[in-house]
Amino acid sequence: MDVWIDTHCHLDEFADHGGAALADAERARAAQAGVAHCVLPAVELANLQAVRDLAHRHGDSYALGIHPLFTPVAGDEDLPALARALEQYQDDPRLVAVGEIGLDLFVPHLDRGRQQHFYRVQLQLARRFDLPVILHVRRSADQLLKALRELPVRGGIAHAFNGSLQQAQAFIDLGFKLGFGGAVTFDRALQLRRLATELPLDALVVETDAPDIPPHWLYVTAAERAAGRPPARNTPAQLPRIGAVVAQLRGISSTELAHATRANACAALPRLAELLAQV
């Protein structure tokens, strides 16, 4: 069985909706499917401890950060509190990045100045603790890149990347890998599929963003939702099938893609290498 690394999974959200037992069950199903490791990013101060606890319980890893969509509810004390948590856990080998951080210029009415403030302070924290970052990139690639050039960090992952080839190359030049997940499985995602095909193999990592961004085989249409069918929930167990789609697009075997993306994940998040040596 191929061994896969899910570089972006919000396993704590399963616990929020169904208790710890549901999170544990989903992680077990993923392991049975060949997902050897998940990276669990925090999104706000309130779930920092939850992602750390889950990572330790399942032998996974975690990142600590404040997501741009949570900046409206974040308090002025949240950034200093995040700094204290990063300092407290800086020697924890399962802490692999600062994240999920970034900018979201798609959702209307979000305060862009506040997003920028949180993003830049968290880049400074990544520099202070010598950690890579996991970036939320939604219609914000150029702005993210501008700040990264001013505040360079130790690389990381541009999660759910869907920008241009030029933007992709700019992230790669700054030491980043690009995350591909459920969105690439849709036939109509022509630009994303072109990127997954044309980018160098050593630039790619795979992810689910579970329970978000379901692949096409789980997607529930608007008409189906209107008829009463609940929205689909992605799971980390879907990663091998998502990876198989990327491999098919590139004309390589799933085994080759699993091996390459595992190595790429270790390059993006260096602390992963030692953890995966135990797998």
Query: Could you tell me whether strands 156-159 and 133-138 are parallel, antiparallel, or unpaired per DSSP bridges?
Result: parallel
Say which amino acid occupies 200.
Answer: P
159 is in an annotated binding site: yes
Q: Is 58 annotated as a binding residue?
A: no
- CB neighbour list of residue 103: distance below 8 Å, 6 or more residues apart: 68, 112, 115, 116, 119, 136, 137, 138, 140, 143, 144
Query: What's the DSSP call for residue 44?
Result: S
Nearest alpha carbon to residue 103 among 132, 133, 141: 141
**136 annotated among ligand-binding-site residues:** yes
Alpha-carbon distance of 22 to 19, in angstroms, equals 6
| DSSP class of 9 | B
10 is in an annotated binding site: yes
Q: How far is CA 76 from the centre of its chain?
A: 25
Give the tokens for residue 243.
């990876």
Measured CA to CA, the distance from residue 183 to residue 159 in angstroms comes to 12
3-state secondary structure (DSSP) of residue 6:
strand
Confirm whether residue 209 is marked as ligand binding. Answer: yes
Residues annotated within a binding site: 8, 10, 100, 136, 159, 209
Residues annotated within a binding site for a divalent metal cation: 8, 10, 100, 136, 159, 209
